Chains A and B, each alone.
With several copies, the nearest count.
Chain A
């Protein structure tokens, strides 16, 4: 019976772990997208110059 309880606890913990992993994939995808958007926003629409200055020199992360 004790083994039963332990087994159940282990299964629950594993389920929780896989929720964490799933969520992490979501946040990673969102972060990638955010980084891409920032790089689009940081490069000025017209030319190569960087009118907006130092905010886009910073690596995110």
Chain B
């Protein structure tokens, strides 16, 4: 019965999204609210992400023109990097995206000083790798990576340093004993915050779970990341309580089992709605 209900709900949600997508121009605010409340049906996900990130304009008459511009820009940048010998046939695709992003951000090193990607690039590469799994078309993929990363940094850059504190707060509400244990053994400060809050769980969750988290991030919430982290900790409470070495805890959390990440995300979204409320904009 539970699945029936979920399935039914899914159909209703899909219908109401289809109605929203017929609007011309698209109501971006309503699409945001929809994505905050419901998971996006996978067949519409890339399209909605592109609209939310401003890659596609809301007016349907403009979309083909703008899509053409996006493709041209992609080709121009890619081609220049090839001529400059920054890219070769063997260059991994995610590194191609990195160099393109660096060129557009005026952060491309000189060719003579070029080194393999460094640690500071790892967050970008992890996000790119995950996006590559979700999005087939390389032009869409590059634009989504670029706009996701830029929007995330612009919008949430100031909030990110506060997320560990927020995690501690909500964990204390949900499970004081677990929090006390993590504090006592010195693991709390060493949790994989960067993996969770800078990479938005890229490389940590399989894409099927990850994209449901990114629906929320792209539509405007970075707080969801805190609740996902809380649920990760709660889900593995028994194991974590049995570990006393912070290294072991960090190690375990950095390469988590991949089995029940879907359940973790579902619970995290519920928890997030519980604390932060469900966006009520009618859709």
Contacts and interface: CB of A to CB of B under 8 A. Distances in A.
Is there a contact between chains A and B in the complex with CB atoms less than 8 Å apart?
Answer: yes
A43 interface: no
Nearest to B55: A15
* A interface residue count range (under 10 / 10 to 19 / 20 to 34 / 35 or more): 20 to 34
B69 A60 contact: no
A29 to B, nearest CB: 6
A8 B57 contact: yes
A interface majority secondary structure: helix
A16 B66 CA distance: 8
Given A7-B25, A36-B112, A61-B91, A19 B84 contact: no
B29 interface: no
B110 interface: yes
Contacts, number: 99
Contact of A61 (B76, B95, B112): B95
A18 B88 contact: no
A59 interface: yes
Contact of B111 (A23, A33, A61): A33
Interface in B69-83: 69-70, 72-73, 76-77, 79-80, 82-83
B103 A12 contact: no
B57 A15 contact: yes
Interface in A39-61: 54-55, 57-61
A28 B106 CA distance: 9
B80 A15 contact: no
A25 B103 contact: yes
Contacts of B73: 18-19, 22
B84 A33 contact: yes
B66 A12 contact: yes
A33 B58 contact: no
A54 B82 CA distance: 16
Given A26-B80, A61-B92, 6 more contacts: A11-B62, A12-B57, A23-B76, A24-B76, A60-B84, A60-B90
